[in-house]
Structure 1
């Protein structure tokens, strides 16, 4: 996609310059846009006020697809209803949270803009919420937008839709970022700082990064695993491998930011959190100081959060699911490492707060 798109959702006459999208507008490869499914989409036309606000679609259990070349796109959505309260959540791609439970009062409308990192030749926006609405949408290429690249493991990555509520913090980070920047989450489950390089994932970042982009680097969980593909020793190979990320970013005039590993949910008898990362935390803090690289001490911040919440309340953040609670986990699960969506949001909030505290320029301008 090299041109701009403007869509008017509903059943009324389309606004000038907009393409009409009705509840029957299923995705078509010829037009290159449309809903993934239409059986539960409804529409209303309130008759006022104005072409874009008078009518809308109610997008239940569906996503809107738009064929697009890989890259960054700025999306603006208009949400609201003349006579009813609304609540809409929008996720991009594989569950990246862009708009979270956006509410509008009767007669009020919200215009929200965000940038999306598109891969696979298609922009995908999924809708949910108690009373979701989509009145209008504009999409335009934004190649000059700042990109925040993420390199990390399963605690960071975009978890798939069929794994809901399983979520990484990088998946939730976009909701804290303004429209002038996009999050490109290259983190993958099971990777260490070493295997992320050997599998060629870091090269994928290097082929896309541009000057003044940012690279957030969080590894450690899997560097502890005693297999040849992943293991690194904290004060030698771990630091040496992380330095590869730092040097590569700087060579490309991008800004590296180290992130210490988020804590696991293991408590001592006195209610304090047990440290399961040990020397890896010391090593990444030393490396940040030695190389004069900004550090998000997520281990420290998450320790404080988990100790404040305590063993029971933290179950709401981690993948502690009762049998039958979520369709994707019918037998339930008890996982002290990985997060459900609420936990991903709260850890992303910690990353956001730490980034603001660092006062990096121009990144400060891109944080909500």
Structure 2
């Protein structure tokens, strides 16, 4: 009788432990990219990367690891060992969201990455991620704010965005066309109201920018949240397993 009671007790203890371990294992979502995603220092506020509000939309099973850094391209992210740092901690079942292009495409920047190298670096991110049995997701670079004289939003990354899409299709991985989706958002707001999404300030309004700021690349808190919500909607549209952990 005592043996049966002990066996039942051991089974119940085992089940409780298994349940606890299952609940405690978190899915990590690594965000790699540039200043349009990254966590900002206080001195940069109200500039906000879309990865900052992104953390608030998931349940306790998801941990967002925002590894994006200002000014980085695919090449410099690798050269500075930032990618190796991600690989050192990447586990099976994790996700890596990859959004570069802003700094890769500008030939006058130290971070410039020729298109062929950009493609090779994206493929490396994908293959390395898969080697850990984790899930890569490519994103086209979020659009800058630019309208033509008629009020129609213009493309700002046509070549590098097309390369992202081509790589995603060739490697058979999910992608989010954030370039397109962000342009649709700006068009919805229009040429003037879309300024409200960006880090644009009149002189004397904010202590971090006493002379004012006109920035059509980096978001403020509203813009970052709007872009994060675009990404969330595409996660749902792609039916990624991660969508099950979005807070309803």
What TM-score, normalized to structure 2? 0.87
Of 108, 111, 119, which residue of structure 2 is paired with 1:230?
Answer: 111
Which residue number in structure 2 is paired with residue 219 of structure 1?
100
SS in 1 for 2:118: helix
Using the TM superposition, give the Cα deviation of residue 227 of structure 1 relative to its aligned residue in structure 2, in angstroms: 5.2
Of 159, 163, 177, which residue of structure 2 is paired with 1:279?
Answer: 159
Q: C-alpha separation between the residues in 1 aligned to 2:238 and 2:134?
A: 16
Q: C-alpha separation between the residues in 1 aligned to 2:124 and 2:111?
A: 15
Q: C-alpha separation between the residues in 1 aligned to 2:56 and 2:109?
A: 37
Using the TM superposition, give the Cα deviation of residue 176 of structure 1 relative to its aligned residue in structure 2, in angstroms: 1.3
SS in 2 for 1:253: coil
Contact 2:24 2:61 in 1 (8 A): no
Listed one character per residue, the Cα deviations across residues 14-58 of structure 1 (whole Å, up to 9, x for unaligned) are: xxxxxxxxxxxxxxxxxxxxxxxxxxxxxxxxxxxxxxxxxxxxx
Of 158, 162, 176, which residue of structure 1 is paired with 2:57?
Answer: 176
Q: C-alpha separation between the residues in 2 aligned to 1:335 and 1:364?
A: 32
Which residue number in structure 1 is paired with residue 119 of structure 2?
239
SS in 1 for 2:199: strand
SS in 1 for 2:217: strand
Of 20, 42, 46, which residue of structure 2 is paired with 1:165?
Answer: 46
Within a 5 Å distance, the mapping from 1:1-368 to structure 2 comes to 144-226=25-107, 229-234=110-115, 236-361=116-241, 363-368=242-247
Using the TM superposition, give the Cα deviation of residue 358 of structure 1 relative to its aligned residue in structure 2, in angstroms: 0.6
Using the TM superposition, give the Cα deviation of residue 171 of structure 1 relative to its aligned residue in structure 2, in angstroms: 1.0
SS in 1 for 2:91: coil
Using the TM superposition, give the Cα deviation of residue 177 of structure 1 relative to its aligned residue in structure 2, in angstroms: 1.3
What TM-score, normalized to structure 1? 0.59
Structure with greater strand share of residues: 1
CA-atom RMSD in angstroms: 1.4
Q: C-alpha separation between the residues in 2 aligned to 1:266 and 1:191?
A: 22
Q: C-alpha separation between the residues in 1 aligned to 2:108 and 2:52?
A: 28
Using the TM superposition, give the Cα deviation of residue 232 of structure 1 relative to its aligned residue in structure 2, in angstroms: 2.2
Listed one character per residue, the Cα deviations across residues 52-105 of structure 1 (whole Å, up to 9, x for unaligned) are: xxxxxxxxxxxxxxxxxxxxxxxxxxxxxxxxxxxxxxxxxxxxxxxxxxxxxx
Change over 3 Å in CA distance of 1:338–1:228 after alignment to 2: closer
Which ranges in structure 2 are unaligned for 5 or more consecutive residues? 1-22
Structure with greater helix share of residues: 2
Listed one character per residue, the Cα deviations across residues 306-331 of structure 1 (whole Å, up to 9, x for unaligned) are: 01111111111101111222222122
Using the TM superposition, give the Cα deviation of residue 143 of structure 1 relative to its aligned residue in structure 2, in angstroms: 6.0
Q: C-alpha separation between the residues in 2 aligned to 1:228 and 1:299?
A: 21
Q: C-alpha separation between the residues in 1 aligned to 2:201 and 2:162?
A: 33
Q: What is the aligned length? A: 225
Q: C-alpha separation between the residues in 2 aligned to 1:309 and 1:229?
A: 34
Which ranges in structure 1 are unaligned for 5 or more consecutive residues? 1-141
Structure 1 segments, 4+ long, off by >6 Å, are none
Q: C-alpha separation between the residues in 2 aligned to 1:228 and 1:243?
A: 23
Using the TM superposition, give the Cα deviation of residue 175 of structure 1 relative to its aligned residue in structure 2, in angstroms: 1.5
